[in-house]
Every structure is written in structure tokens, then in C-alpha cells.
């Protein structure tokens, strides 16, 4: 008679189902921050579905679709505060959602305190740079740059 293979306990829980103290990442409970972060992932996920599929539909399906995307197309979109706000919301939500998701993965998988700390520092620094750069691009974008005569949106004097 063969015996069933033994299934070992997941490394982070004890037989009682409690987290093994050696895998506890920090001292006490972290208040409501992790709860808020959990809720934020769900809520931002729902909003992102609308923002991302709206973005894909307008850019890839409507009008000339993907073949219509050029400098003039982007310039025309960002001439409207509506699309500026749409893209800003998409940038901020995707970055906060993605950064918080990767933060969770780092907390789950990086076992050494120093490794966890530095991975998160690199993650947060990268997120801050991308959010600031992206926001600047959306609001400082010049649809009618001096000296350019082709590929401009219709409303530029040089077009
Ligand atoms: C299309 C809309 C999206 C929806 C509905 C969505 C939904 C979710 C949900 C519910 C979670 C939590 C999963 C969990 O805790 O088990 C999650 C995790 C995550 N999301 Fe999104 N998300 C979307 C877009 C994005 C985008 C655009 C990015 C990247 C910028 C992203 C990156 C991540 C990452 C890195 C995680 C962590 C995965 C993990 O914990 O294993 N998601 N997403």
C-alpha cells in the first residue's frame, strides 16, 4: 500500500494557521493603512477599467483608428481639458495602483529587512519621477511648436 505524500505547511503559517513569528514583517498591526490600500486596489481597479477601455476605444477604434495616431492626434486631444483630465487620472491611478501592487509583492517576497526597504525606496522614487514627468508633459505640452509646419493639428496657425 502506498502512503499519500505529505503536504508541508506553507512556510509563513504554523499548524494553528497563525503567521509564524519569524515571518512577521513588523512589530504590531499597521492600523487601517493596509485596509485602505486593499480597498484602494479594488476601487482604482474599477475606475481603471473605464479609463483604459475608453482610452483604447478612442485611440484605436474610432475614426482612422490606430492609423490616425500621430503628433497632431495627441496635440488635438490634449487641447481639450476633458482629455487632459482623463489622461491625468489614468496616469495617477495606474501609477498609484501599480506601485501599491508591487509594494505588496515586495512585502510578500523579499525576506530581508534591508532588501525590502531598498526595493521599496527604488519603487517609490521611480513612481514619483514618472508621475511628475507625466503630469508635466500633459500640462506643458505645446501643440503648435515654433518652426514646425507639418503634422500639426488644424487649429495651429502654421498648419
Ligand atoms: C484594467 C484595470 C485593472 C483592474 C480591474 C485591476 C485590478 C486589480 C486588483 C483587484 C488587484 C488586487 C489583487 C489582490 O490583492 O489579490 C490588483 C493588483 C495589482 N495590479 Fe491591477 N488592476 C488593473 C490595472 C492595473 C494596471 C494598469 C497596473 C500597472 C500599472 C496594475 C498592476 C497591479 C499590480 C502590480 C498588482 C499586485 C498584484 C499582486 O498583489 O499579486 N493593475 N489589480
Tens of pLDDT, residues 37-90:
999 999 999 999 999 999 999 999 988 888 988 888 898 899 899 999 999 999
pLDDT value, residue 146:
84
Cα of 45 vs centre of ligand 1, distance in Å, is 7
Residues 16 and 8: beta-carbon distance below 8 Å: no
Task: Give the C-alpha separation, 47 to 34, whole Å.
Answer: 20
Give, to the nearest 10 degrees, the angle between helix 81-109 and helix 113-140: 170
Residue 6 forms part of a structural domain:
no
Where residue 114 sits, what CATH number does that domain have? 1.20.1300.10
**Residue range 106-119: average pLDDT?**
93
Confidence at residue 104, expressed as pLDDT on a 0 to 100 scale: 94
Residue of 88, 94, 51, 58 whose CA lies nearest to 76: 58
* Cell (9 digits) for 137: 508633459
Range of the domain at 114: 31-140
Q: Give the residue whose CA is nearest to atom 36 of ligand 1.
A: 101
What is the arithmetic mean of pLDDT over 19-40? 78
Protein residue with its CA nearest to atom 19 in ligand 1: 101
Asked, for residue 23, whether it belongs to a domain, the answer is no
Evaluate whether residue 75 is within a structural domain: yes
Q: Report if residue 119 sits inside a domain.
A: yes
> Distance from the CA of 5 to the center of ligand 1, in angstroms?
35
Number of domains comprising the chain: 1
Shortest-distance Cα residue to atom 18 of ligand 1: 101
Amino acid at each position: 500500500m502506498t502512503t499519500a505524500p505529505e503536504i508541508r505547511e506553507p512556510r509563513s503559517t504554523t499548524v494553528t494557521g497563525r503567521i509564524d513569528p519569524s515571518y512577521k514583517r513588523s512589530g504590531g498591526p499597521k492600523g487601517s493603512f493596509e485596509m485602505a490600500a486593499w480597498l484602494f486596489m479594488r476601487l482604482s481597479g474599477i475606475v481603471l477599467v473605464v479609463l483604459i477601455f475608453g482610452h483604447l476605444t478612442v485611440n484605436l477604434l474610432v475614426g482612422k483608428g490606430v492609423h490616425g495616431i500621430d503628433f497632431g492626434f495627441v496635440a488635438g486631444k490634449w487641447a481639450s481639458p476633458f482629455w487632459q483630465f482623463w489622461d491625468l487620472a489614468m496616469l495617477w491611478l495606474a501609477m498609484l495602483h501599480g506601485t501599491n501592487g508591487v509594494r505588496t509583492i515586495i512585502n510578500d517576497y523579499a525576506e530581508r529587512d534591508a532588501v525590502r526597504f531598498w526595493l521599496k525606496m527604488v519603487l517609490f522614487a521611480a513612481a514619483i519621477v514618472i508621475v511628475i514627468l507625466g503630469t508635466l508633459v500633459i500640462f506643458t505640452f505645446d501643440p503648435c511648436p515654433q518652426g514646425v509646419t507639418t503634422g500639426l493639428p488644424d487649429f495651429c496657425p502654421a498648419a
